[in-house]
């Protein structure tokens, strides 16, 4: 017993030293590096980088080394700085040979963000299906939540904490009639009051089939989405951008992002590849001409420019930010997962 106690004490001491010492050293010595902000300019067909220089402060430049003033950068990114250009009276009549109004630009601008920590989040298996046709301007959260069971779905009224059997049956039957196999493997939605409209839920059923589910005036709307041959969905994202062109984004088993068009439910392969939603963070700033995509991991940042019409890759830029000194050690948390466990990092 004494020997075991000694060994156990040695183990605990070693583990705590491997945890505390690197943490203390990193805390004292490491300085977080600043990553540049990058946007793709369709006018110069290059990325514009906003990087911090120790001596000159903020520096705006492209990948060829050309530097720009603030006003020049505003003009080179007209869809991003639309309000500034309008305020300055510098809004052009045409953009890339096309007559575009500031209103049109603002309507088609969007931003999308997904963090690995959110994808890996520990969620309670209760979901909110908002009313997509309430007739009200302001979005409201529903008065019930739903849970999926092996045989169907159940709506639970929040006020009474009881299952609404009639509504549950109606939605279950609708989904089953469309060929949905319970229980779903993946569920995506954006319950929020801070959006213009609701796109409902994207569901991946037990047989890996993709479905769209909405609630329209309390009644179910379900639609089966045909997947292109060989496409294995892995992660779903519902999008509710102002221009209503997209229903969602989908990441497949090969880490390629697909866009699901809202008007015809067709899936389009994008030029965004090598994106692992469970390990990488992604942000997309889109406009009517192109999307600037940032895929970041703790080691590198990849910037992609995607054509907004064809969704094909236009340009890429890889940056390895200076993360400063880092001493590896034992840690429990992770920037990509909320689950705690011993990790060597």
Binding site for another protein (CB under 8 A): 1-2, 4-6, 8-9, 12-13, 16, 19-20, 122, 124-126, 128, 141, 143, 145, 147, 156, 158-161, 191-192, 332-333, 338-342
Q: Would you say 289 and 96 are in contact if contact means Cβ atoms under 8 Å apart?
A: yes
Choice between 325 and 332, CB closer to another protein: 332
Choice between 165 and 253, CB closer to another protein: 165
Cβ atoms < 10 Å from Cβ of 297: 14
Non-local (6+) Cβ contacts of 55 within 8 A are: none
The least CB distance from residue 173 to another protein, in Å, is 23
C-alpha to C-alpha distances, 72 to 8, 88, 149, 246, nearest whole angstrom: 65, 12, 57, 32
Task: Name beta bridge partners: 37.
Answer: 50
The least CB distance from residue 157 to another protein, in Å, is 9
What whole-number distance in Å separates Cα of residue 111 and Cα of residue 108? 10
The least CB distance from residue 121 to another protein, in Å, is 8
The least CB distance from residue 283 to another protein, in Å, is 21
Choice between 9 and 29, CB closer to another protein: 9
The b-or-e profile of 299-334 (16+ CB within 10 A means b, else e) is: eebbbbbbbbeebeebbebebeeeeeeeeebbbeeb
Q: In this structure, which long-range contacts are made by residues 165-173, counting pairs with CB atoms below 8 Å and at least 24 apart in sequence?
A: 167/218, 170/219, 170/220, 171/146, 171/213, 171/220
Q: Would you say 292 and 283 are in contact if contact means Cβ atoms under 8 Å apart?
A: no
What whole-number distance in Å separates Cα of residue 81 and Cα of residue 97? 19
The least CB distance from residue 238 to another protein, in Å, is 15
Q: Would you say 82 and 285 are in contact if contact means Cβ atoms under 8 Å apart?
A: no
The least CB distance from residue 129 to another protein, in Å, is 12
Cβ atoms < 10 Å from Cβ of 134: 17
What whole-number distance in Å separates Cα of residue 275 and Cα of residue 257? 7
Choice between 191 and 321, CB closer to another protein: 191
What whole-number distance in Å separates Cα of residue 94 and Cα of residue 79? 12
The least CB distance from residue 176 to another protein, in Å, is 23
The least CB distance from residue 329 to another protein, in Å, is 13
What whole-number distance in Å separates Cα of residue 106 and Cα of residue 147? 37
Q: What are phi and psi of 221, to 5 degrees?
A: -130, 115
Non-local (6+) Cβ contacts of 28 within 8 A are: none
The least CB distance from residue 342 to another protein, in Å, is 8
């Amino acid at each position: 017993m004494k020997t075991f106690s000694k060994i156990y004490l040695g183990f605990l001491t070693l583990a705590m030293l491997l945890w505390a010492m690197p943490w203390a050293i990193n805390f004292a010595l490491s300085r977080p590096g600043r990553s540049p902000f990058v946007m793709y300019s369709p006018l110069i067909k290059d990325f514009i980088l906003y990087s911090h220089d120790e001596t000159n402060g903020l520096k705006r430049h492209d990948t060829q080394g050309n530097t720009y003033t603030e006003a020049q950068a505003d003009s080179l990114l007209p869809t991003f700085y639309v309000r500034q250009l309008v305020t300055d009276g510098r809004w052009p009549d045409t953009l890339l040979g096309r007559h575009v109004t500031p209103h049109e630009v603002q309507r088609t601008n969007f931003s999308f963000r997904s963090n690995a920590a959110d994808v890996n989040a520990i969620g309670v298996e209760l979901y909110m299906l908002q009313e997509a046709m309430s007739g009200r301007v302001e979005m409201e959260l529903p008065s019930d939540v739903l849970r999926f069971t092996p045989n169907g779905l159940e709506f639970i009224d929040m006020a009474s904490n009881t299952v609404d059997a009639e509504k549950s049956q109606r939605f279950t039957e609708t989904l089953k009639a469309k060929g949905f196999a319970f229980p779903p493997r993946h569920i995506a939605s954006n319950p929020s009051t801070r959006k213009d409209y609701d796109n409902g839920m994207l569901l991946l059923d037990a047989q890996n089939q993709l479905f769209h589910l909405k609630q329209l005036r309390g009644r179910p709307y379900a639609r089966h989405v045909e997947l292109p041959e060989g496409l294995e969905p892995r992660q779903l994202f519902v999008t509710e951008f102002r221009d209503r062109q997209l229903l969602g984004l989908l990441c497949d088993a090969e880490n390629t992002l697909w866009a699901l068009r809202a008007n015809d439910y067709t899936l389009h392969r994008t030029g965004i590849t090598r994106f692992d939603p469970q390990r990488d963070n992604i942000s997309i700033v889109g406009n009517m001409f192109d999307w600037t995509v940032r895929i970041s991991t703790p080691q590198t940042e990849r910037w992609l420019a995607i054509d907004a019409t064809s969704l094909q890759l236009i340009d890429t830029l890889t940056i390895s930010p200076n993360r400063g000194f880092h001493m590896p050690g034992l840690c429990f948390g992770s920037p990509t997962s909320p689950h705690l466990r011993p990790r060597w990092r």
